[in-house]
Amino acid sequence: MTLAATTDLAAATNEHLANLSNTLIYSAMAVYTLAFFAYITEWIFGSRSKIGRTAAALTADPAARKAAPAVTVKKGGSTAVLERPKVVVRAAAGQRDVPDGPGAHGGDEQGDLYGRIAVSLTVLAFLIELAGVIARAASVERAPWGNMYEFNITFSTVAVGVYLSLLALKKNVRWMGLFLITSVLLDLGIAVTVLYTASDQLVPALHSYWLYIHVSTAILCGAVFYVGAVSTILYLFKDSYESKLAGGGKPGKFATSFLERLPASSSLDKFSYRVNAAVFPLWTFTIIAGAIWAGDAWGRYWGWDPKETWAFITWVAYACYLHARATAGWKGRKAAYLALIAFGCWLFNYYGVNIFVSGKHSYAGV
Amino acid sequence: MSKTTPDATRTPPAGDEDLGAAGSQLSTAPEDTLSMPSLGVIGWARWFWRQLTSMRVALLLLLLLSLGAIPGSLIPQSGTDETKVADFRKANPTLGDLYDKLGLFHVYSSVWFSAIYILLFVSLIGCIIPRTWQFVGQLRGRPPGAPKRLTRLPAYTTWRTETEPEQVREAALALLKKRRFRAHLAGDAVAAEKGYLREVGNLAFHIALIVMLIAFAWGQLFKMEGNKLIVEGGGFSNTLTQYDDFKSGSLFTADDLDPFSFNLKDFQGTYEKSGPNRGTARTFQASVTYSVGAFGKGKKTLIKVNEPLEIGDSKVYLTAHGYAPVITVRDGKGNVVYHDAVPLLPLDSNITSSGVVKVMDGYRDAKGERQQLGFEAFFLPTYTPGNEVSSTFPALGNPVLNLAGYYGDLGVDSGVPQSVYQLDKTHLKEFKDAKGQQQRENLRPGETMKLPNGAGSITYESTEEWANFQVTRQPGSGWALAGSIAAIFGLAGSLFIQRRRVWVRAVKGDDGITVVEMAGLGRSESAKVPEELGALAETLYDQAPGASDAGRVEPDSVSDSDSATAAERPGN
Ligand code: HEM
């Protein structure tokens, strides 16, 4: 075979793979849509149950509250469990002692079934999407994040991956499914309509293993920050709901049905803190990897390019959030607002800077 | 000013007030106290310093830093793109003036931005030093003794045992020490603490920030950056005069240039030939021989886009590439008056290029008069018939050089610096063809264009390639890197390590049976503290097993018990 014929053949394979990837992404969207409806159904069935744990915990008279059973952590071997000392956990001073909600299904069996179906569908869609991302990578013979389309599909795959990993680790996060899948569908919708770019190669400046490290950790950080932001928003809702109850108010029916099923505000708050704190060092590393790459590619490791600037702003904003948590008077809602601002910075760095601001990083391809 | 109303969201570490010393100093974070200053200059100065080094102000300054960085990303900056700044000024004169006054065209070196970060770092230093001392003090001291009522702690457990209190305490001390707690016996209880590395990490992180800032500032002051275009076969030695353009930090001097030289032997660019990625660069590299110092031995190496050549503190980057057709110009008598490779500037990704040829001296026209010649050159490395204006592929597939000539005065002697890529046509006349149009011809390698009326000829001999090299020197980058690595590890330690305390109290009850109480306290509420306490309790329980079931006290029902120490229900 001549050289030209080989390369033609390779090109044909690549186009075939690119088409396959597109088909897979559309299929994943279809399955995500099914999962979305399953989650909705879970929520709807869940609304049949009339649970008011929060209200019970907050509005019961103080004496009765004291008698409420303490939360216990069971420890120890299977046989001797009753013999062993039990650890009593007590909420920190000033914090509401509210039990976590049962999850979207609200304790309803049918709702739970639909929730499980939804998770299974999510797993399926995740696998299809992952295959689509891999096919895309194979078609361009490089990592799948050379433009915003590829970035978007990779991003949502990783975000769902983070969610499923947390589920696999038996963390109480199933309640997040509906919100996550909604935004994944949005993300993919934007990707296939507005951002779609036919597969193409990277310019030589984008060839570097630091790029692979930098962008892959950036995507992972984004996905985890996203999970943190979702729980922060829900925390804000749940917290106002709890304050209202504690103040003797009566929240609306919808709010009650919806928020009763979520974890307690303090759990949501803790969860979002942990999630954000856990990726913050990785985000720091991402920025440093980017600086090293910039040093190799452009001869300076930091040049206040808009993308670099916004990565810095995002970093400082998350640092603010962590500081705020350590400072009395800034905990709780105020810190939560900072977390949301920080995530807003991250989003702007991705969409805003790529689309509205020109700089060395303009690989948007739109 | 300070918030005094109790607020559900303001939670000092679990029950700080009622725990007294036991809950104190679980970190070295400064207390946020806002008292009014006592009168007098020193009073005010002290007040100001305390404000500056408080966490609250650190937080405000951090917020300001991120807000302050925003305009620099939205307004063109003179440091990165001078022409954009000029365009902006032209388009919005009034706004431009205002921006100028506010330093918004160079945000990151403006007075107000500098003020924010300098204040922040003064605050940081003012915060780290006392915290380090305090931490050293904590390391030399011992974990605080058990609070009176262990039931008030976030994690608590208790049981009754026949074992003597002394034995229980001893077992607890040994157990905690084995688990790498710092533990000691204080009164009727064992006090233990673990996770000091959290504080170490936190301090290391903040110190690393200072190292990074200093390294960055140092780099800005002593940096240099210069560009040099070299045609294949050409060379460069690192002196100021050899650069095409040169920028440096305010403290940089010519003596700081590393002595080295190099020659460009060959530039290789290969491109995808077909498929959707046709034309994308596959390889992009320059083979050079370089030598270090005045008499260094020549060494061969490859410079690629992301792989600069490093010599001393300097790095040599390959930043651009293009073509340089070799041109020969002859006068009417056939004498060669010009022979050189002429670098042309690429206009698009397929390296459609343009440039000029300037014949400054040595040329005489048909009448024997001194003249200067200028040619506008337009070059397509791959010419496809039907597409006259742009190349269709970046490699040399079917090169065509389009030339149009001028004669007269190039204006190079007027003293005004001129671009080597442009002609000043004020004193130039076009060479015209028979029809009275400007003479313009497409040449292939080896072809010659005859100038009208015996004015001579110009020949396109062959094509060389050129590469542009950027030489940079950014001292302090090693420190910046070391600082950032330390920052990451410090941060990880600070965020992932829990600092926590455990107390084990064992006293004999009135009935002669020993009551063991264990409690744990973390800086922030964490599921790990009770889990760890549970594990510790289990081990200790094996060594001090529970007394007969009848006397056993479930923590859930301790309020029914008359035991003095366990009289209070958790949850109060
Ligand atoms: C350059 C600006 C600064 C940045 C980027 C920064 C960043 C951070 C980050 C990310 C953390 C979280 C790590 C953790 O929770 O352990 C932290 C913690 C902390 N920072 Fe800073 N900081 C800065 C300046 C300061 C200043 C000026 C102070 C002193 C007033 C300070 C005092 C503290 C303290 C005490 C903690 C630990 C709080 C705790 O024990 O949880 N920081 N800082």
User: Ligand 1 atom 18: the closest Cα is on which residue?
Assistant: A323
* Percentage of residues of chain A with pLDDT beyond 70: 77
pTM for this one?
Answer: 0.80
Measured CA to CA, the distance from residue A231 to residue B324 in angstroms comes to: 60
Asked whether the beta carbons of A267 and A100 are under 8 A apart, the reply is: yes
Give residue A244's region: left, alpha or beta (phi > 0; psi -120 to 50): alpha
- Which of B52, B494, B498, B523 maximizes ligand 1 atoms within 8 Å of its Cβ, making it the mutation to test the pocket? B494
- Higher-confidence residue of B79 and B11: namely B79
Contact A75 B474 (CB under 8 A): no
Give the model's pLDDT for residue A235.
Answer: 93
pLDDT at B393 > cutoff 60 = yes
Task: Indicate the residue of A70, A85, A210 with minimum beta-carbon distance to B158.
Answer: A85
Min Cα distance A31 → chain B (Å) is 30
Nearest to B32 by CA among A318, A277, A323, A319: A323
| B281-292 vs B514-522, strand pairing mode | unpaired
The whole-number average pLDDT for the span A226-245 is: 91
Candidate from A14, A277, A296 with C-beta closest to B495: A277
Looking at residue B491, its pLDDT comes to 95
State mean pLDDT over B10-23: 51
Averaged pLDDT, A342-366: 69
Q: Does residue B119 sit at the A interface (CB-CB below 8 Å)?
A: no
Q: Which residues contact B457 (CB under 8 A, 6 or more apart)?
A: B329, B330, B448, B449, B450, B451
Structure tokens at A62: 């103080």
Which residues touch B394 (CB under 8 Å, ≥6 apart)? Answer: B269, B271, B279, B281, B349, B350, B351, B381, B382
Q: For residue B6, what pLDDT is reported?
A: 37
Does ligand 1 lie within 6 Å of residue B494's CB atom? yes
A280 near B CB under 8 A: yes
How much of chain B, in percent, has pLDDT values that exceed 90?
A: 32
Q: Name the minimum distance, in Å, from the CA of A252 to any CA of chain B.
A: 23
The predicted-structure confidence for A282-316, as pLDDT tens digits, reads as follows 999 999 999 988 887 777 788 888 888 999 999 99
Half-sphere exposure of residue A236: CA atoms within 13 angstroms, side-chain side: 13
Number of CB atoms found within 10 A of residue A40's CB: 16
Residues A93, B525: C-beta atoms closer than 8 Å: no
**Please, what is the Cα angle at A277 between A276 and A283, to 5 degrees?**
75
pLDDT digits (tens, 9 = 90+) for A125-143: 999 999 999 998 888 777 7
Q: Report the first-to-last Cα separation within chain A, whole angstroms.
A: 38
Asked whether the CA dihedral A11, A12, A13, A17 is positive or negative, the reply is positive
List the single best residue of A2, A88, A304 to mutate versus B (max B Cβ within 10 A).
A88
- pLDDT of residue B3 exceeding 50, the answer is no
Check pocket membership of B120 for ligand 1, CB cut-off 6 A.
yes
- Residue bearing the CA closest to ligand 1, atom 5: A319
Q: Does the beta carbon of B124 lie inside 6 Å of ligand 1?
A: yes
Ligand 1 mean position, distance from CA B126 (Å): 12
Asked whether the beta carbons of residue B73 and residue A357 sit closer than 8 angstroms, the reply is yes
The set of residues, in sequence order, having a beta carbon less than 8 Å from that of A202 and lying 6+ positions away, is A142, A146, B280
In this complex, the residue of A201, A313, A329 whose CB is nearest that of residue B32 is: A329
Task: Report the length, in residues, of chain B.
Answer: 572
Q: How far is A37 from chain B (nearest CA, A)?
A: 34
The 10s digit of each residue's pLDDT in A163-189 is 999 999 988 888 889 999 999 999 999
Does the beta carbon of B123 lie inside 6 Å of ligand 1? Answer: yes
Q: Rounded to the nearest whole angstrom, what is the distance from the C-alpha of residue B196 to the centroid of ligand 1?
A: 16
Least confident piece of the model among B79-83, B231-235, B459-463, B556-560:
B556-560
Alpha-carbon dihedral sign for residues A246, A251, A253, A259? negative
Q: Among A220-234, A305-319, B291-305, where is mean pLDDT lowest?
A: B291-305
A99 versus A307: which is more confidently predicted? Answer: A307
Q: What is the pLDDT of residue B566?
A: 35
Closest ligand 1 atom to the C-alpha of B209?
Answer: 1
Cα-to-centroid distance, B532 and ligand 1 (Å): 27
Residues of A in Cβ contact (< 8 Å) with B248: none
pLDDT at A343 over 50: yes
Residue A81 has pLDDT above 60, yes or no: no
A-B Cβ pairs (cutoff 8 Å, strict): 252
Ligand 1, closest atom to CA B128? Answer: 29
Tens of pLDDT, residues B310-342:
888 888 988 888 999 999 999 888 889 999 999
Question: What pLDDT does residue B557 have?
Answer: 40
Position B275 scores a pLDDT of 64
- Distance (Å, whole) CA B295 – CA B293: 6
Residues in B touching A281 (Cβ below 8 Å): 488, 491-492, 495
pLDDT of A92 reads 57
**Quick one: tokens of B451?**
């100038």
Report the nearest atom of ligand 1 relative to the CA of A280: 10
- The pLDDT of B505-510, averaged and rounded, is 89
For B538, the closest of A8, A76, A88 (CB atoms) is A76
Mean pLDDT of all residues in A21-45: 91
When mean pLDDT is compared across B275-284, B328-337, B370-379, B545-554, the lowest value belongs to B545-554
User: How many Å lie between the centroid of ligand 1 and the Cα of residue A220?
Assistant: 24
A83 touching B, CB under 8 A? yes
The DSSP symbol for B9 reads T
Contacts of B499 in chain A (CB under 8 A): none
| pLDDT bucket at A344, cuts 50 / 70 / 90 | very high
Q: What is the per-residue burial (b if ≥16 Cβ within 10 Å, else e) of B527-540?
A: eebbbbbbebbbeb
Q: Is A216 on the interface with B (CB under 8 A)?
A: no
At residue B35, the pLDDT reads 62
Asked if B556's CB is within 8 angstroms of A88's CB, the reply is: yes
Residue A72 has pLDDT above 80, yes or no: no
Q: Closest Cα of chain A to B388: distance in Å?
A: 26
Going by the DSSP 8-state scheme, the letter that residue B174 receives in this structure is H
Per DSSP (E only), the strands in B67-170 are 155-161
Nearest by CB to residue A94, choosing from B11, B275, B481, is B11
pLDDT of A60? 52
Distance from CA of B475 to the nearest CA of A (A): 11
Q: Are A152 and A190 in contact (CB under 8 A)?
A: yes
Comparing A332 with B493, which gets the higher pLDDT? Answer: B493
Q: Does B518 touch chain A (CB under 8 A)?
A: yes
Please answer yes or no on whether B491 and A284 come within 8 Å at the CB atom.
yes
Q: What are the structure tokens assigned to B17, written together?
A: 């007030």
How distant is the Cα of A264 from the closest Cα of chain B, in angstroms? 14
CA distance A179 to chain B (A): 26
Q: Give the closest of A85, A297, A330 to B541, CB-based.
A: A85
> What confidence category does residue A110 fall into, taking pLDDT thresholds of 50, 70 and 90?
confident
The 3-state DSSP composition of chain A as helix, strand, coil percent (nearest 5) reads: 70, 0, 30
Q: Residue B80 and residue B82: Cα distance in Å, rounded?
A: 6
B479 touches A at CB < 8 Å: no
